[in-house]
Structure 1
Amino acid sequence: MKTQNENTKYLMNWDSKKIWKEEIISKEFIKYLKEAEVDELMLNKDTQLGIISERDVIDWIEKEENESFWNDSMKHHICEKIIKDDDDYFVGCDYEDFKGGYFFVASLWKMEKGENLIILEHYH
C-alpha cells in the first residue's frame, strides 16, 4: 500500500462531522457504505480513500492505488452491520467474522470541491 509521502496530518471530528487540517476539507457526511457501494465508487478514478486507525489521523491512499488496495485489503473486509441508536452509530461486526481478523467501516463524505471521499476506519 502506497500512501502519499506528505507529512500532512488531517484530523477528523465525528461530533462535528468535519475533517480538517488548516482548512476544512469535508463537513458533509453522506452515509455508511456497504461493500457493493464501495466497489461501485472504486470505479470512479476521482474517489479519494483515507484510512483511519485511531479515529483522528488520516493516511491517504494514492488514487492510482485504489483498485489494488481494494483487491488486496478491502474486498470482503467491509463491515455492513452499522447500528443506529438515537443520534449515534455502533459497529456490530466481530473480528472473527473476517479472514485475517480485521475489517473496515466505510463512510462516504463529500469534499469541499465536490469529490467523493471514502473514509475507512480500520479495526484490527
Structure 2
Amino acid sequence: MESLDDVRRIFENSAFNKHLNIHTDIFEEGNVCCTLQVQNHHLNVNQAVHGGVLFSLLDSVMGATIRSVSGTPLVTVNMSIHYLAAVQAGENIIARAAIIHSGKSIVMAEGFLEDEDGALKAKTIGTFKLLRLS
C-alpha cells in the first residue's frame, strides 16, 4: 500500500497532469483539490475550453481522491460528464471529488468543476477498479 506522500508524488509527477498544467492545492486523505489556469492550448475551435480537458481534469482528481484513501493504483472503468457552462481562456477552474461508494475492488466517485466564484461548470460520476498488485 502506498503512503499519502507517495500518492501525491505520483500524481504531481504525472507527465499528463504536467502537460495539462494541473496544480494541486490540497492533497489529503479523501480530499484532493486541483486547479487549472486556462491557457490558449486548452481551447477548442469555439474559443472555449475543450471538453476533453475538463473530462481529463475531473478524471484525474477523482482518481487521486480514491488513491489517496486506498493507497493502491486504479483505472477508470466508466465515467460520464455533464457540461453545464463553458469555460473561457484566462479562467481559473477548481476540481474536487467525493467518494460515493467503496467496495472491495470497485469505487464510485463524483467530480465537480467550478469557477472561482463557485459556479458549477461540469459534474461527473465515475467507476474505478482498484488494482491489487502483488
TM-score (norm 2): 0.28
- TM-score where L is the length of structure 1: 0.29
Higher relative contact order (CA 8 A, sep 6+): 1
